[in-house]
Each structure stands twice: as C-alpha cells, then as structure tokens.
C-alpha cells in the first residue's frame, strides 16, 4: 500500500477523497496491524517524505497507543503489548531515529510517540535500554537532536509514574535536564526544551530535593533561567517555580527571599505571560498555607504533615503593595470577555488569597489604598480600590471588617447606581455580593441588612438588574447571597416584604433579550432558586403561585418546532434551568404537609411536562429533569406509581447513559427515591432495573464514581420490596462480595482511600437494606450463608483502620442489622468473629453522634441475638 498518498489524501480538502482515504487506513489497520504501524513509523522516519504525511503518520501512531476513555486506553495498551516483538522493535528504532531528524515537526511528533510507548512498556519492565540510549545521545548529537531528546524526556516524565524509574536513572535524567537548562548551554531551543522538561521531571526529584547540595543547584539553575533573555525560557522557569511551590513547599525557606525579589521584578517590568506566572507563584504559596492552616484547624496544637512557614505573613509588607499596583493595570472591557486573564485579574485574585491566608493583618495594608483611590476621577483607580476592598472580605474577622463595611456600604450602593463606568459598577456589585456572602446572616451579631437600609439595598440591587448583562449578573449574585444569609432564619424573614418584588424582577431578567450574555439568565434562575430555598412559611403561598408560572415557561420551550442545532442547544439549556427551578420548588413545598397538599394538584401536569422534556432528548435536560423527578417522587409518595408506565423507559435510558456518568449517577439516585416512594409497587419494574444495575456494575466503561451509589440502590430496592428481592439475591450478593473483597484494603493516595470508603459505604448500605428488607419474612434463612463473608468484610475493614466516619456508622449498623434479622443464627457467628466486640466498643465510645447511635442499636440487636 502506498501509505504516503493515502496520508496526503486524508488531509485533502476534497471531502470524498478524504473519506476514502480514512476508509483505506481503517481497512489497513484492521487487516494487518503490525504492518500498518510499521509503515506509519517508516513514514515518520523517512526524511524523503513530505512533512505533512510524517506528522499525520506520527499522530495516527500516537492514537493507536492511547485514548482518553479509560477502557479504550486499556484495550490499546493490551493490543500493543501483544504485538509481534520484532515489529515493535522496528517501530521503536524508527521512532528513535526520527528524534535526530532535521525536520522539527517530525522530531516533535516522534518524541511524543516515544513517550507513549515508554508509558506502556516501562511499567512492564520492557524497553529497559530506552532511557540509557536517550541520555547517551544528549552528549553527542547536534543541537536539534539534543532538544528533541530533552523534549522526549519531558514527555516521558509526564507519561510514566516516578516509581517506575529507579533512582539511578532519575539522577541521570535530572542531571541531563538541569545541565541543559544552565547558562552554559548556548542553544536557546535546547535550554527551553530542558526547562520545560524539568517542569515534568520535578515529580521525580523527591530524593534530590532532600539533598541540600542538589536542591541548591536545581534552584539556582531555575532562578537563573527566570532571568534569561528569552521570554519563553523565563516563562517556563517561572512555571517550574510555581510547580516547586506546591510540590516542595517545605523546602523553600532558604530561597524565598530571592524568589520574592525575582517575582517582584517580573511583576513590575516583565512581559505579561511571565508576570502572570510570577503572581501565580504567590497564589500557589497561599493555596499551600491555607491548606496547612486549615489542617491545623485554627489552633496550633494540631498537627499537619508539613509545618507552616508563614511565607505570606513575612512577605506581607512588600507583597501587598506589589499586588495593589497590579490592580491598576485593568484592560478595557475585561468584564465582557469570558476568557480574559490579565495581570490585574491575577493580582486581585492573589490579593484575595493573601487575605484568606493572613486574616486581619492585611486590613491596615489595604485600607489606605482604598481610601486614596475610591473617589478618584480615573475609573481605573476607583475600580482598583473597589476590587481591593472586595478581595479582602474573606479572611479577616467580622469584627475588623464590619465597621469598614458600615462606612463603605452607602458609598457602594450609590456607586452601583451612579458611577459612569460599567467596570466600576461590575466590581461594586461583586463587592456587595462578597459583603453578603461573608459578613451577613441571620446569626451575625451586627447585621449588615437592617430595617434602616433594607429598602435601599433591595431597590438598588433590583435596579442594577436592568444594567448591562455583566453588571446585572453580579447584582443577581449579590441577591443570591443576601437570600442565603437567611437560610436558617426561622419563621420570619426580613426579606418577606420584598419577596414578591424580587421574584418579579428576577423573572423579568430571565426574559431580557440579552439574558444570554454573561450567564445572566442562569444567574437569575440560580438566584430565584436560592430565594425560594431560603423562603419561610410566610411566603409559601407566593412560592405556590410560582409553580404555574414556571410550568408555563417550561411549556413554552416545548412549542418550538424544527429547531436548528444552535436553537436546540439553547432550548435544552433553558429547559435545564426551568427543571432545576421546579426541582427546588418541589423540594421546598414538599417539605411541609400543608404546602405539599396544595402543591399536589400540579403533580400530574408537572410530570407531563417532564416527560415531554425527556422526549426532546438532550443530555443536560435529561439530568435536570431527572433530578426534579426524584424530588417529585419523594413528594408524591406511593401515588408516583401512576407515572411509572410512561416514565420507566426514560429511567432505563438514564441508567444506560455511560458517557454522561453524571446522568447515570443521578438516575441511580432517583431509583432510590422511587423505591422509597413506591415500596412494593416498584416490583413490576424491578427486573429491568436490577438487570441494568448489575450490567452497569460489571461494565468497565462506566465511571467508577457511579458504582457506590448503585450498591446503595440495591439496599433501597431490597428495603422497598422485602423478600421479593430473593429473585436477585444471588446476583446482588455475588457482586457485593466481589466488591467487598476489592475494597477491604485501600491502596494508593488519599483520593483512592476516599473512593474505597465510598465504595465500602455503598456495599454496607446494600447489606443493611437487604437484611432489613428480609426481616420478619420466612425467607431470612436465605441470608445465613452470606453472613460469614459479611462479618469477615467487617473484620477486614476494621483491621485496616482507615474507615471514615460515614463508613464506620454504616458498618456498625450492618452488624446490628445482621443480628436483628438472623437472630440466634448470627449470635454465635458474631461471637466468633475476630473484632466485632472491639469494633462495637470503639463505636460506642465514639464522639460522633451518628456512630454512637448506630452502635447502640447494634449493641441492642446483638444482645438480643445472643440472649435468644
């Protein structure tokens, strides 16, 4: 096959030619994979071939080795590993050869493919000579090959995990990379490639960063690179510093003064891409210190793995003026540009993080700047002053801030209506939102929202909702937090007198012609949702009146025919917002008996609308309508049965939606809602649901986060249908048992431990539901054979000592359920189990109320089981 021509055709502007070429490539790949890959690598390595075909050949090779989706990736890895060894070594030889090609695109493509192959083979202990041969090249090759080799090392470090490469090779890689970065390297491209490679190699340098001399050397080279005459090198070097700030925070103390000087210089005078990285360094230090201080939990006796060095606190007197300076460098119209990111935005964001890190100390450093600039004729000064004030509202204590806010509030309210500059108004509305978010609430001692100013505040915010979309969006945001402050206000809310007016204004906003800009419509609905969530009994009749209004809106979205794909997307977004709003209203009205009763008159119509929304088929709507249906099922209870015949197929569709796993997860949750609502009336649908759930569990395509809720859902169903669950018992139990074996031990990082715990919790909730479901039935003896394994699972996770509180509570409950349902059959098993007694005692003396309560229940159930 003449691969060059096919590859050229595949990039032709002639559609027919292109399709034909793609078909040819596909056939070739299917008929003879080794030969296909071999000719691609040959094409890539061949200096006679056109650069476009070489690039495309490399790209197809890369895609034959890796994919985004987990399961597909796994398949490709297996496919490569089982490929003929001879073919593989020829392909690899071609790839390595290409690294020294004079054609830069060919080199660069090859270096990525080499890294992909390494990502597959190194963990299997294959291709052991790779790193050695790359490193030996570095000292001999022409500059362009050296650059490609360093680039390859960088990609390689990105692909493989540090434990795959032994320390000796790590040392060699780092030596080569850091040498490539140093001033002695004359070639700019090589230096840049080395600097970017170091960024990826930093994760491999744990041991080297613990060695003072090596660390000093690396840090010196990185700092020198930040002063390079080449801007891309300076930027890459600062990226390295940012990465070091989070990976090696605890090793930074000796260098922090130098780094401050370097970053201050960059922020002041360097080009923006570099200055942005310099600011990011300090933002990243803030992230670290905020995390550490949070782990201290406010008191300093607590411990964290890493001590806090208070770099921000020490740098504060110099850092804050530097950041305030950046605030004055705003771009015109940055608020209308969704992707804008400039030094003023980065500096302001960093200032906010600094405030969260140091608290009160920042206030005296910022207040003079605010006072000096807030009333200046230049809008940049007014905006910078307002932004500075807004950004320090989270962090410092209310005692420190409230007096300032009380002084500033009326100025802000007047600026929001009168300032001639839209940018200033935008930031003012945002600042008001921050005031309400952090300093306002029904529980605060000195309220911001008082009888004296409430009318003015509401009037100004509602007025601003008619301003330009970006300002109106911020005003909605401010109202959102104003409402949120009265979340737990009790029977009467200060917002009650304004409720009607607020709702009306928000609905008006949603109908603005330009509501599609700046997220305005979304913000208006979100605010409406929060206003409803935080409303009290006083305004329940008004919330009820809102039901037909939103229903009509939803109805109107269903009328349009023959929509373009763009219109279809807009329709689906709007349906999502409206279903979300109905969900919030249903949940609100369903939570008290009298309103629930009145609400129920709409249930049939609402369900009808949801079903029509499903019929429009769009993923996002699907999810929002599904969430809303869950709330509806909870509210209607057993009456929901009448909707099941029509709804069921959408439920099944949701459960089958692997691609959008959120939709699948939400649907699993709704199955739980429906089980509780219908109880045994769910039986006719159980075959379909259980089959699908079991299928989902055994699929490796489904996102793992959906699996724990599926197990919990088994419990919900079992509890609902009782002994009827017998039909599925064997299947469910064997799936549970497999998962239990896998989740007894946790392995890996915190994230993995967290996942394992959520899996354990799902499994345990399933056991609980099954045991309680079978209780009092003549079929409880069916469960006896499973008891030893379940007790063993409980023993296992108890021994691991890494349960979180939720798992602990569920686990001890399962012990009780087992005893409760199996009675004397369980008594002896429990007495024989290794750790039941210790586990129970530990839970009984837990500080956690929920664990203790579950443990007392378990104790009671066990004592009954044993005493029989």
Partner 1 sequence: MAPHDLRRPFKRAAISDQQKRRELSLLRQAQNRRDAQQQARCLASSILSLQSPVPESEPEPEQPDIDLETAIEAEQESGASSKDLDVRRASKLRGPEVRKWFARQLMLPEWMIDVPDRLSQDWYVLARPSGKRCFVVSSNGTTVSRLRNGSILHHFPSALPAGAKTRDGSGSAQSYCILDCIFHELDQTYYVIDVVCWNGYSLYDCTAEFRFYWLNSKLEESGACSPPSYYHKYRFSAVPVYNCDQNGLYTAYTGVVPYAKDGLLFYNKHAHYQTGNTPLVLVWKDENCSQYVIDTDSKGEIPSQQQVVLELQDNGKLATSDDPPVVFGCLDADMIQQSGLDSGNLLRFAISDGGLSFSDGKLEKADLNYLGKSNRARAFADSYSKILFQYTVRHSPLKIDDLLASINSPDDQENKSCDMEMAG
Site for partner 1 in 689-748 (CB under 8 A): 712, 715-716, 719
The size of the interface with partner 1 (CB under 8 A), counted in residues, is: 76
Q: Which is nearer to partner 1, 77 or 532 (CB)?
A: 532
- Per CB under 8 A, the list member of 46, 100, 137, 349 interacting with partner 1 is 349
Of 51-59, 87-95, 664-672, 699-707, which part binds partner 1 (CB under 8 A)? Answer: 664-672
573 binds partner 1 (CB under 8 A): no
Q: Which is nearer to partner 1, 24 or 813 (CB)?
A: 813
Binding region for partner 1 (CB under 8 A) out of 403-411, 505-513, 536-544, 814-822: 814-822
Compute the distance between CA of residue 744 and CA of residue 800 in angstroms, rounded to an integer. 8
* Residues 462 to 501 in contact with partner 1, rule: CB under 8 A: 474, 477, 480
| Listed residue (572, 736, 586, 581) closest to 660, CA to CA | 572
The encoded tokens of residue 434 equal: 């921050």
Q: Which is nearer to partner 1, 702 or 719 (CB)?
A: 719
Rounded distance between C-alpha atoms, residue 655 and residue 737, angstroms? 22
CB 669 within 8 A of CB 633: no
Nearest to 573 by CA among 537, 520, 531: 520
Site for partner 1 in 247-276 (CB under 8 A): 273, 276
User: For residues 197 and 829, which CB has a smaller minimum distance to partner 1 in the complex?
Assistant: 197
Cα of 446 vs its chain's centroid, Å: 36
Measured CA to CA, the distance from residue 570 to residue 589 in angstroms comes to 29
Over the window 274 to 303, marking each residue x when it contacts partner 1 by CB under 8 A and - when it does not, the resulting string is --xx--x--x--------------------
Least Å from the CB of residue 196 to partner 1: 4
24 binds partner 1 (CB under 8 A): no
Measured from the CB of residue 300, what is the shortest distance to partner 1 in angstroms?
27
We find the least distance from the C-beta atom of residue 736 to partner 1, in angstroms, to be 17
Least distance from partner 1 to the Cβ atom of residue 650, Å: 17
- Build a one-symbol-per-residue string for 508-547: x at contacts with partner 1 by CB under 8 A, - elsewhere: --------------x--xx--xx-----------------
Q: Which of 583, 618, 692, 757 binds partner 1 (CB under 8 A)?
A: 583
Nearer to partner 1, 61 or 764 (CB): 764
776 binds partner 1 (CB under 8 A): yes
Q: Which H, E and C letters describe 732-790, residue by residue?
A: HHHHHHHHHHHHCCCCCCHHHHHHHHHHHHHHHHHHHHHHHHHCCCCCHHHHHHHHHHH
SS3 label, residue 376: coil
The one among 262, 627, 651, 840 contacting partner 1 by CB under 8 A = 627
CA–CA gap between residue 525 and residue 585 (Å, rounded):
12
68-76, 250-258, 730-738, 763-771 -> range binding partner 1 (CB under 8 A): 763-771
Cα dist from 728 to 452, 686, 694, whole Å: 64, 9, 10
Q: What is the dihedral of CA 498, 503, 507, 510, to 10 degrees?
A: 90
Selected from 151, 288, 467, 553, the binder of partner 1 by CB under 8 A is 151
- Using CB under 8 A as the binding rule, whether residue 43 contacts partner 1 is answered as no
* Contact stretch for partner 1 (CB under 8 A) within 175-183, 196-204, 319-327, 599-607: 196-204
Q: Least CB distance from residue 681 to partner 1, whole Å?
A: 15
Q: Which of 60, 101, 106, 154 touches partner 1 by CB under 8 A?
A: 154
Using CA atoms, how far apart are residues 423 and 348, in angstroms rounded to an integer?
14
Q: For partner 1, give the closer residue by CB, 537 or 800.
A: 537
Whether the CB-CB separation of 567 and 516 falls below 8 Å is answered with no
Give the per-residue contact string, 208-247, with partner 1 (x = CB under 8 A; - = no). Answer: ---------------------------xx--x--x-----
User: Which of 217, 296, 438, 857 touches partner 1 by CB under 8 A?
Assistant: 857
The DSSP string of 88-141 is HHHHHHHHHHHTT-S-HHHHHHHHHHHHHHHHHHGGGT--THHHHHHHHHHTTS
Q: Which of 557, 816, 833, 836 binds partner 1 (CB under 8 A)?
A: 816
Selected binder of partner 1 within 36, 80, 199, 498 (CB under 8 A): 199
Nearer to partner 1, 220 or 864 (CB): 864
Residue 624 in contact with partner 1, rule: CB under 8 A: yes
**Residue 263 Cβ vs partner 1, minimum distance, rounded to whole Å:** 14
Q: Which of 41, 100, 493, 768 binds partner 1 (CB under 8 A)?
A: 768
Q: What is the C-alpha separation between 768 and 725, in angstroms, rounded?
A: 13
Pick 322 or 581: Cβ nearer partner 1: 581
- Pick the piece of the chain touching partner 1 (CB under 8 A) from 29-37, 302-310, 581-589, 831-839: 581-589
| Distance between CA atoms of residues 388 and 328, nearest Å | 10
Nearer to partner 1, 37 or 790 (CB): 790
The only residue of 80, 602, 634, 755 in contact with partner 1, by rule CB under 8 A? 634
Q: Which of 669, 780, 684, 791 is nearest to 729 (CA)?
A: 780
Q: Which of residues 417-436 bind partner 1 (CB under 8 A)?
A: 426-427, 430
In terms of Cα–Cα distance, which of 155, 151, 55 is closest to 106?
Answer: 55
Picking from 767, 639, 759, the residue whose alpha carbon sits closest to that of residue 707 is: 759
Residue 268: how many other CB atoms lie within 10 Å:
12
Among 119, 347, 441, 672, indicate the residue that binds partner 1 (CB under 8 A): 672
Own/partner pairs, 186-189, CB within 8 angstroms, 24+ separation: 187/143, 187/146, 187/147, 188/230, 188/233, 189/143, 189/144, 189/147
CB distance 227 to 234 below 8 Å: yes
Q: In angstroms, rounded to a whole number, what is the distance separating the alpha carbons of residues 660 and 127?
A: 37
Question: How far is residue 415's CA from residue 134's CA, in Å, rounded to a whole number?
Answer: 63
Contact status: 347 vs partner 1 (CB under 8 A): no
> Which DSSP state fits 642?
G
The reply to whether 66 sits near partner 1 by the rule CB under 8 A is: no
Q: Least Å distance between CB 706 and partner 1?
A: 13
Which residues, 6 or more positions from 194, have their beta carbon under 8 angstroms from its beta carbon? 150, 177, 178, 179, 180, 181, 185
Q: Which of 155, 369, 650, 714 binds partner 1 (CB under 8 A)?
A: 155
- Between CA 45 and CA 358 the distance in angstroms is 56
């Amino acid at each position: 096959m003449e691969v060059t021509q096919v590859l050229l055709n595949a990039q032709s502007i002639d559609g027919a030619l292109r399709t034909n070429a793609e078909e040819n490539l596909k056939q070739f790949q299917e008929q003879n994979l080794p030969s296909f890959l071999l000719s691609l690598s040959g094409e890539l390595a061949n200096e006679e071939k056109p650069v476009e075909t070489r690039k495309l050949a490399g790209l197809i090779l890369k895609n034959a080795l890796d994919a985004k989706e987990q399961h597909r990736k796994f398949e490709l890895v297996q496919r490569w590993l089982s490929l003929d060894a001879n073919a593989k070594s020829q392909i690899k030889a071609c790839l390595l050869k290409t690294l020294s090609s004079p054609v830069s695109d060919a080199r660069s493509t090859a270096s990525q493919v080499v890294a992909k192959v390494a990502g597959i083979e190194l963990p299997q202990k294959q291709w052991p000579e790779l790193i050695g041969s790359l490193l030996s090249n570095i000292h001999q090759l022409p500059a362009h090959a050296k650059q490609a080799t360093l680039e390859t090392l960088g990609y390689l470090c990105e692909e493989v995990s540090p434990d795959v490469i032994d320390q000796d090779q790590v040392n060699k890689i780092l030596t080569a990379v850091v040498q490539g970065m140093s001033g002695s390297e004359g070639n700019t491209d090589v230096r840049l490639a080395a600097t970017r490679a170091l960024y990826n190699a930093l994760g491999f340098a744990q041991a080297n960063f613990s060695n003072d001399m090596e660390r000093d050397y690396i840090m010196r080279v990185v700092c020198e690179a930040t002063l390079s005459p080449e801007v891309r090198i300076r930027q890459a070097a600062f990226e390295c510093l940012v990465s070091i700030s989070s990976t090696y925070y605890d090793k930074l103390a000796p260098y922090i003064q130098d780094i401050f000087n370097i970053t201050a210089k960059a922020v002041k005078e360097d080009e923006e891409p570099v200055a942005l990285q310099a600011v990011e360094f300090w933002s990243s230090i803030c992230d670290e210190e905020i995390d550490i201080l949070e782990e201290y939990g406010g008191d300093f006796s607590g411990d964290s793995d890493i001590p806090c060095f208070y770099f921000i606190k020490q740098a504060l007197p110099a850092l804050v003026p530097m950041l305030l300076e950046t605030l004055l460098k705003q771009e015109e119209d940055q608020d209308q540009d969704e992707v804008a990111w400039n030094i003023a935005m980065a500096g302001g964001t960093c200032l906010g993080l600094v405030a969260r890190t140091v608290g009160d100390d920042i206030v005296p450093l910022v207040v003079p700047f605010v006072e000096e600039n807030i009333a200046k004729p230049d809008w940049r000064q007014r905006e910078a002053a307002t932004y500075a004030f807004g950004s320090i509202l989270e962090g410092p204590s209310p005692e420190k801030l409230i007096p300032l806010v009380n002084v500033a509030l009326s100025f802000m309210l007047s600026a929001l209506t009168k300032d001639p500059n839209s940018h200033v108004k935008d930031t003012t509305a945002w600042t008001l939102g921050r005031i309400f978010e952090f300093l306002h609430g029904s529980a605060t001692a000195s309220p911001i929202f008082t009888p004296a100013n409430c009318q003015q505040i509401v009037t100004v915010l509602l007025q601003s909702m008619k301003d330009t979309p970006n300002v109106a969006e911020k005003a909605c945001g401010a109202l959102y937090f104003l409402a949120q402050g009265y979340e737990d206000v009790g029977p009467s809310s200060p917002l009650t007198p304004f409720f009607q007016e607020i709702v009306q204004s928000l609905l008006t906003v949603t109908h603005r012609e330009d509501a599609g800009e700046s997220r305005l419509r979304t913000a208006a609905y979100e605010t409406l949702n929060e206003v409803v969530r935080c409303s009290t009994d006083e305004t329940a009749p008004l919330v009820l009146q809102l039901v037909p209004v939103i229903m009509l809106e939803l109805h109107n979205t269903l009328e349009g025919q023959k929509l373009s794909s763009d219109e279809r997307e807009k329709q689906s977004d709007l349906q999502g917002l409206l279903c979300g709003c109905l969900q919030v209203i249903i949940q609100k009205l369903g939570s008290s008996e009298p309103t629930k009763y009145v609400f129920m008159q709409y249930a049939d119509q609402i369900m009808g609308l949801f079903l029509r929304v499903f019929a429009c088929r769009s993923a996002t709507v699907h999810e929002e309508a599904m969430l809303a249906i869950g709330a509806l099922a909870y509210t209607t209870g057993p009456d929901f049965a009448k909707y099941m015949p029509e709804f069921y197929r959408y439920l099944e569709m949701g459960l089958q939606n692997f691609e959008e796993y959120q939709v699948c997860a939400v649907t699993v949750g709704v199955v739980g809602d429906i089980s509780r609502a219908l109880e045994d009336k769910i039986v006719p649908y159980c075959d379909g649901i259980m089959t699908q759930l079991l299928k989902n569990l055994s699929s490796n395509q489904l996102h793992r986060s959906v699996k724990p809720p599926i197990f919990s859902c088994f419990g919900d169903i079992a509890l609902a249908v009782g002994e009827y669950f017998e039909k599925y018992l064997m299947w469910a139990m064997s799936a549970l048992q497999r998962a239990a074996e896998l989740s007894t031990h946790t392995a890996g990082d915190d994230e993995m431990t967290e996942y394992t715990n959520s899996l354990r919790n799902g499994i345990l909730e399933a056991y609980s539901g099954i045991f309680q479901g079978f209780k009092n039935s003549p079929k409880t003896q069916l469960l006896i054979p499973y008891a030893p394994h379940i007790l063993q699972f409980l023993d296992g996770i108890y021994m691991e000592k890494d349960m979180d509180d939720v798992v602990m509570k569920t686990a001890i409950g399962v012990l009780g359920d087992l005893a409760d349902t199996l009675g004397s059959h369980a008594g002896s098993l429990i007495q024989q189990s290794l750790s039941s007694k210790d586990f129970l005692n530990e839970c009984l003396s837990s500080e956690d109320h929920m664990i203790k309560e579950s443990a007392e229940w378990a104790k009671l159930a066990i004592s009954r089981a044993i005493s029989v």
